[in-house]
Structure 1
């Protein structure tokens, strides 16, 4: 009797382009600049990407370009959260200290502020042209393409 194996690793095969963006802008300002310079229509989703085991949430903007079969996502890579810090008993002041903790959606790219995920079914998006337009925006420090297959935590990009 023959045995058949199913490889589950290749089950999710979504072809997309991923661009890392370094900038110090707020998410809504970056979305506005991308809409203006790349002629997109990114809109903020009602719900953020939420990871309960990390207790962090990340803002997400999206636009489904139905004419060209392209789905655009702008995702924040950092989440800063204020939590209660450790305090020892017997101190002079009884107030608890607050500690600002930083979490990252893709932990391999801790210095990246945002990711632009472009899912195109028929691959009609020119990645070099997008990078050229992104680097022309003065508020963006730098941007570059990232190979999604080399990311260990690429499951965080499935939404």
Structure 2
């Protein structure tokens, strides 16, 4: 009896998408509005955020499905700040509770990036350059650039469905 052996060389790791990092201080809804206006897309807030660590950390996400081009556009925040109250062990007259703010990143390799724009489709370099130039023409955006997804260590965080 012949034995057939299938070798899968990272065929499933190389998903076809373009990832753009965006640095800006805008609120998520304001950035989505400006991107919609500049790029001619229709990003809208999803009903539920991306939840990690059993709902303790959540990232806002805006999405648009372009049915003509068979493309899904996703704008997701990279930074989530949570506040916890730490009870002090000191016994005193006054209740000393400290507020501790913790910061989490969707992609820890890019700690300074505020948002990521993920385009679930392989697009040409000229179209990618056009999208980047359009994003950079928005005055409130400090900078934007393409991210090489093959170098990411936490790619699994970019699976939104």
TM-score past 0.5 threshold: yes
Equivalent residue of 1:149, what SS? helix
Shift of 1:63: 0.3
Which residue of structure 1 lines up, in the alignment, with residue 42 of structure 2?
Answer: 41
Which residue of structure 2 lines up, in the alignment, with residue 148 of structure 1?
Answer: 149
Stretches of structure 2 lacking an aligned partner (at least 5 in a row)? none
Which residue of structure 1 lines up, in the alignment, with residue 73 of structure 2?
Answer: 72
The Cα RMSD (Å) is: 2.1
Which residue of structure 2 lines up, in the alignment, with residue 84 of structure 1?
Answer: 85
In structure 2, C-alpha distance between the alignment counterparts of 1:57 and 1:88, rounded to whole Å: 30
Instruction: Return 90-99 or 102-111, whichever deviates more.
Output: 90-99
Shift of 1:95: 3.1
Shift of 1:130: 0.6
Q: 1:3 to 1:133 in 2, by over 3 A?
A: same
In structure 2, C-alpha distance between the alignment counterparts of 1:26 and 1:83, rounded to whole Å: 22
Instruction: State the number of aligned residues.
Output: 158
Which residue of structure 1 lines up, in the alignment, with residue 33 of structure 2?
Answer: 32
Equivalent residue of 1:30, what SS? helix
TM-score relative to the length of structure 1: 0.90
TM-score relative to the length of structure 2: 0.89
Q: 1:87 to 1:10 in 2, by over 3 A?
A: farther
Stretches of structure 1 lacking an aligned partner (at least 5 in a row)? none
Q: 1:150 to 1:133 in 2, by over 3 A?
A: same
